[in-house]
Amino acid sequence: MAVTHGTLTRRKGDLLWVRGRAMEAASNGIVICDAGRIDLPIVDVNPAFERITGYAADEVIGRNCRFLQGADTDSESAARMSIAIRAGHDIALTLLNYRKDGTPFWNELYVAPVHDAAGRLTHFVGVQTDVTARRRAEDRVRFLAEASALLGTSLDYEETLAQVARLAVPAVADWCAVDVVDDGGTARPVALVHADPNQVDEARRMRERYPVRATGEDGVAAVLRTGRAALLPEVTDAMVAAAQDDEHLAALRRAGLRSVMVVPLSARGRVLGAVTFASTRPGRRYDADDLALAEDLAGRAAIAIDNARLVAQARAAVRARDQFLSIAAHELRTPVASIKGYAQTLLRAQTRATLAPERLASSLRTINAASNRLAELTNDLLDVSLIRLGQLPLRQTTVDIGRLVADLVADYGQLVGEQRRIAVTVPPLPVVVRADAGRLDQVVTNLLDNAIKYAPQGEEIVVSVGQEPTGRGAEAIVRVRDRGIGLASEDRERVFEPFDRAATATEANIPGMGLGLYICRSILERHGGRIWAESDGEGMGATVSFALPVVDDWPATG
C-alpha cells in the first residue's frame, strides 16, 4: 500500500491502492470514491466489500455510497459524515446499512481523504467493518438490562408485561403479543403492541375474534401445551393459508407477517403464558440468536409474573387469615358466652336456693347446645389443619350411599321437628361407593345444615340420590336443594375456598366461618369425588351436589 501522509501515489496511470494485493486480501470492505465529482461516485471496491454487502463491483461502480443507507439509518450520523466529506476531513462512525437482500448490518466506517502529489483532493477511501454481531450483542445486553429493571418496578404483572411488550417494539419486533394462562387453563391476551399505532385496534379485534385454540397444533397453543419455543424464520403463504376462515386469512395477509417467534413464559416447571414476536419488515428475519434473546426475556418476565403471583397469594392469605381470625373469634365467642352466661345464672340461682327444676333443665339444654356448637367449630378447625398438612384420616369401606343419606335425613328430621320438611329420594337398589362412612356422614350433614341455614322457614329441602353413567363406569350423585338466598354466578366456585363465603350469606348476616364446604370438597377429593354448586341467582335457591365413583364389590357395609 503506497499511501503516505494522505497522499495517493499514481503508477502507470492507475491508482496503486486498487486491485493490489493489500486491497484484495483485506478482510475489511474497501470502497474508493471520486472526490472530483459532487456526487462522489464509487470507482472501485474490494472483494470484502462485495462479500459484506452482497453487491458485485459492477453493480456499484458509479453509484454514491449513500445507497447503502436506509430509512432507519441515523440521520445525525449521516449528516456528520457529509459535513466531514465537504470539509475534506476524515471521520469514523457506525451506521446502519442494508445489504443487497435487504437485511440490515451495522457498518463501522472510517472515511479518509486521499491527495495527489500536488496536495489536491482526488479521492475518498472508506474502510468498512461489519460489526453487526458485536452491536447486536451490545444491544441485547442493554435491552435485557432495561427489561430487567422494568420487570422489577411493579407487582402488577399485567401492567409489567404490557411495558415489556412496549419495550420489545421496535427493538425486537414490529409487533408483540402476550398471552397468560388463567386459573382455568385458558389463554387470555394481556398485551398487544404494534409499531404502527393505527394497527393495534385491528390486531386486537382479530385476537378477540380468533382466540388461541387450545387444540391448535402450532403457534401459541402448541407453545402453551408443550412449553417449547417456536421459531418461524420465514412465514410462507401456506402458513397464512391455514387461517380459520376467509376473514381471518385476509387479516393475516394485511398484517404482512414475515418472521415469527413464540416463546413460553415458564417458571418453576409451569407454563404461565407465551410471548409472540413478529416481524413485518423484509430485512428482519429471526434466527437462533433472536430466539435466544426472546427466551431470555421471557424467562425474566416469567419470574417476575411468578413473584407477583406469589406476593398476591401471600397478601390474600394474610387477608384470609385476618378475616378468619375475626370470624372465628366471633363464632367461638357466641357459644362460649352462652355457656358462661347460663353457668353463672345457675350458680347464682343455686347460691340463693331459687333454682327451679324447669329453669335448670332449660339452662342445661342451652349449655349443651352451645357446647355442641363449640365442639363443631373446634372439629372444623382441626379438620382444616389436617387437610392442610395432608393428614386427614380415612377408614374406607363399601357403603350404600342411598341408605346412609336416607338414615341421616330421618335423624335430621327428628332434630328439626316440624320447623322444616326434608324430602328424600333414593333408588330402590343399593348404590355402593368405597368411602369413610363417618366422613360421608360429615359431608351430608354439612350440606343439610347449609340448606336449613340458608332457606326460609317453611321451605322444603329436597335431597336425592342417584346413579349416572360416566366414561369410566358410573357415579353416585347426591343433591341437596334449597329455595333460599341463592348464589351469584361468581360465588359458585368461591364458596368452596377456605374462609370464604357467598356474598348473599354475608349480606344476610348468617353466621359461619366459611369452612364447611371447603372441608366437604377436601373429603370428597380424597375419595376421588367432586362437588359443585348450582343456582339461578340471588334469591333463587341453590343446589349443592357431589359425586363419587360407584364400585361393585359386595356386600355393602356401614
* pLDDT attached to residue 15: 44
On whether both 284 and 426 belong to a single domain, the answer is no
CATH number of the domain encompassing residue 23: 3.30.450.20
Domain count, the chain: 4
Do residue 354 and residue 476 come from a single domain?
A: no
Residue 123 and residue 143 share a domain: no
Quick one: pLDDT at residue 4? 35
CA dist 279 and 168 (Å) reads 11
Q: Which neighbouring-strand residues pair with 314?
A: none
Q: Are residues 299 and 156 in the same domain?
A: yes
Q: Is residue 402 part of a domain?
A: yes
Query: Which residues constitute the domain of residue 298?
Result: 136-312
Q: What is the CATH number of the domain that holds 380?
A: 1.10.287.130
What pLDDT does 45 receive?
Answer: 92
Instruction: Mark 493-521 as b/e (b = at least 16 C-beta within 10 Å).
Output: ebbbebbbbbebbeeeeeebbbbbbbbbb
Read off φ and ψ for residue 517, nearest 5 degrees: -70, -30
What is the reported pLDDT for 216? 58
CATH number assigned to the domain comprising residue 496: 3.30.565.10
Which segments of the chain have a pLDDT < 70? 1-22, 25, 183-185, 212-218, 241-242, 283, 320-321, 323-332, 334, 377, 380-381, 383-384, 387-389, 415-419, 458, 499-513, 553-558
Q: What beta strand segments (E) does 268-400 contain?
A: 270-279, 397-400
What's the N-to-C CA distance of the chain in angstroms? 104
Residues 302 and 330 in one domain: no
User: For residue 431, what pLDDT is reported?
Assistant: 92
Nearest Cα to 105, choosing from 76, 139, 69? Answer: 69
* Alpha-carbon gap, residue 42 to 55, rounded angstroms: 13
- What is the reported pLDDT for 14? 45
- Residue length, the chain? 558
Category of 464 on φ-ψ map: left (φ > 0), alpha (ψ -120 to 50) or beta: beta
Q: Is residue 556 part of a domain?
A: no
For residues 338 and 302, membership in a common domain is answered with: no
Question: Do 260 and 335 reside in the same domain of the chain?
Answer: no
% of the chain beyond a pLDDT of 90: 24
Question: What pLDDT does 29 receive?
Answer: 93
Beta-bridge partner residues of 94: 108
Q: Is 329 found in the same domain as 273?
A: no
Query: What's the pLDDT score for residue 92?
Result: 94
Q: pLDDT per residue over 291-308, tens digit each?
A: 998 899 888 888 888 888
Q: Map grid coordinates 481523504 to a residue.
A: 113
CA proximity to 212, closest of 178, 238, 241: 178
Does one domain contain both 126 and 8?
yes
Q: Let me know the angle formed at the C-alpha of 88 by 83 and 92, rounded to the nearest 5 degrees.
A: 65
The reported pLDDT for the residue numbered 16 is 45
The answer to whether the beta carbons of residues 399 and 440 sit under 8 Å apart is: yes
**Domain ends where: 312, 333, 358?**
312
Q: Residue holding cell 470484502?
A: 48
Same domain, 423 and 469: yes
Phi and psi torsions of 204, nearest 5°: -65, -40
In a domain, 488, yes or no: yes
Same domain, 125 and 147: no
Query: What is the spatial distance between Cα 180 and Cα 201, in angstroms, rounded to a whole number?
Result: 20
Query: Tell me, what DSSP letter sits at residue 211?
Result: P
The pLDDT of residue 1 is: 38
